[in-house]
Structure formats: C-alpha cells, structure tokens
Structure 1
Amino acid sequence: MRFVTTIDIDAAADKVWSVLVDVGRWPEMTPSVTRVERLDDDFGDGSRTRLHQPRLRPAIWTVTEFDPGRSFVWESRAPGVVTTAGHHLTPGDGKVTVRLTLDQRGPAAPLIGLLYGRLTRRYMTQEAEGLKRLSES
C-alpha cells in the first residue's frame, strides 16, 4: 500500500526543515501524534523515536535515510508489515513543496491498508497541515 500527501508551504526551506525534524514537538503540530519519546539524542541516520498515535499501537521509527535540509525517511516494523515514511522538501520561489509518503509492505500490508487506509490518509493530511501552520507562523 502507498499513500502520498503534498502541500505547498510559504516559508523558507530551513524553517520548514527545522519544524519537521523537531519530532519532539509533533504533538503540538498535529493531532495525529499524542506523545513522542526520543530514544536517541540526535536526530539523524539510525536515530529512533517512539510515536504514540490515537487508535494505533505505539511504534518505534528508525531513520534509514537522512539528507539534512532536504529529506528523511524512517521505518517501523510490526508483525507482518514494514512501514516506511518519507518526508521530502523541494524548495521553490519563496515556498517549499513538502511530499509525505507512506509505504507498507509485507503479508499483512493489504489488510492493514484496508482497515486503516482512511485513518492513514487523515493522519498524513493533519501532519502536512500542521507543518504548514507552524512553518508559516
């Protein structure tokens, strides 16, 4: 299963990036995250974060790709499914286009997509809109 959300943000790329990677503040940014536990001091390649989200089990996300100022990708594993979420910034003329992606693979992925697809789309939209709100303020 693959989900994609894109949003344009009227802010400098460095501002958007700083809001995006400050994952400890995500509960202020989006109602789709209620609690964050940073498991490592620095955010970057290999760092881990436990996210608590309504209607979902807490999940540990491990950063697997990190391109400072441009993108990060992290991954969470659960029985039968691996979820990979990408956060990509493309600077433009006085704005930044942010593309959020979420891919699920594994034997349980089709069932999880069927059961949680609507919730996933809503959470991704909330994250994008919250990022826009905080970055533009």
Structure 2
Amino acid sequence: MRWEDTLVIDAPVDVLWSLTADVQRWPDLTPTMTRVTRLDDGPLRVGSRARIKQPGQAEAVWTVTELTEGRGFSWQTRLLGLTMIGSHRLAQVGDGCRNTLGIEVHGRGAGMFWLVFGALMRRAVRTENRGFRDAALRVCGKAQEGADHRHA
C-alpha cells in the first residue's frame, strides 16, 4: 500500500532540502512530530537513524535506506511485523519546488493496517507537507499562498 501527497511550493529546492534534511527540526514544522532524535552525527546519509515520537504512537527508529543529496531520501522502520517506508522527494519546477511525501506499508497484514490507519496516515502526510510548505515560505519571506496540488 502506498500513498503520496505533492505540493508545488514557491521556494527554491535548496530551501526545501535544508528543511527536509534537518530531521531533528521537524517537530517545529509540523504537529505530527513530537520528537525526532538523530542517533548518529553528521549530515543525513544512507544508514543514518533517528528515533521518532509521533502523537498517539510508540517511538520508532527510522533508518535512511536511500538518499540523493539535495533531492530526497527514503527511510524505513519495522512495526508489528510490517515495514513502513517514508519518502521525501524534491524537484525543481520553474522557480519553485515540487515536494512529494510518500508512505508505504508492506508485509503480512498491510491491507488490514491500511484499512484501520490509512486515513490517519494520509492526514498526517498532508499535514507534514503543508508544514514544510509554510516553513519554506517563511524562510523565503513569502505569504503562505502557493500552488497546492495533491495527488492520491
């Protein structure tokens, strides 16, 4: 099961990347993150790990499995025998940036998990993407208006 949320944001890709790669700052950007603690030092890279606490959920350790500097990364965690993969993809669109956040759930019981928690997960991803948008626009000194394109 996979779901994505995409926004075109009136901010340069490098601004979005700086917000995306600074995972410990995410609780300042979105109410869907209570705490993010890096478990290693240095720039985000394949193998980097972070302990994440989200409202109403147990803490989980997420490990970066793929990273393209300045363009995005994916990471995953295991939960109840399921593998969850989160992805963050950036692409330049004119003077702005297309920010695509995705969530995937794989494993036995993924369909049932998605039936029970899918709406909550979709809402969280949408909220997170809007948090990135609003933060990027603040960094750029722009009003919180912009192209808003969602893709399910």
Asked whether the 8 Å contact 2:8–2:93 carries over to 1, the reply is no
Q: Root-mean-square deviation (CA), in Å?
A: 0.9
Give the Cα–Cα distance (whole angstroms) in 1 for the partners of residues 56 and 108 of structure 2: 21
Would you say the 8 A contact 2:7–2:98 is kept in 1?
yes
Determine the C-alpha separation between the residues in 1 that align with 2:81 and 2:111.
10
Which contiguous aligned blocks of 4+ residues in structure 1 show a shift greater than 4 angstroms? Answer: none
Gaps of at least 5 residues in structure 1 are: none
TM-score by length of 1: 0.97
Give the whole-Å Cα distance in 2 for the aligned partners of 1:21 and 1:67: 11
Task: Tell me the equivalent position of 1:48.
Answer: 49
Distance, in Å, in 2 between the alignment partners of 1:107 and 1:132 is 35
Q: How many matched pairs? A: 137
C-alpha deviation, 1:80, in angstroms? 1.9
| Maintained 8 Å contact 1:63/1:73 | yes
Partner of 1:99, secondary structure, is: strand
Q: TM-score, normalised by structure 2?
A: 0.87
Structure 1 residues 36-115: aligned runs within 5 Å:
36-42=36-42, 43-115=44-116
1:11–1:135 contact (8 Å) kept in structure 2: yes
Shift of 1:95: 0.6
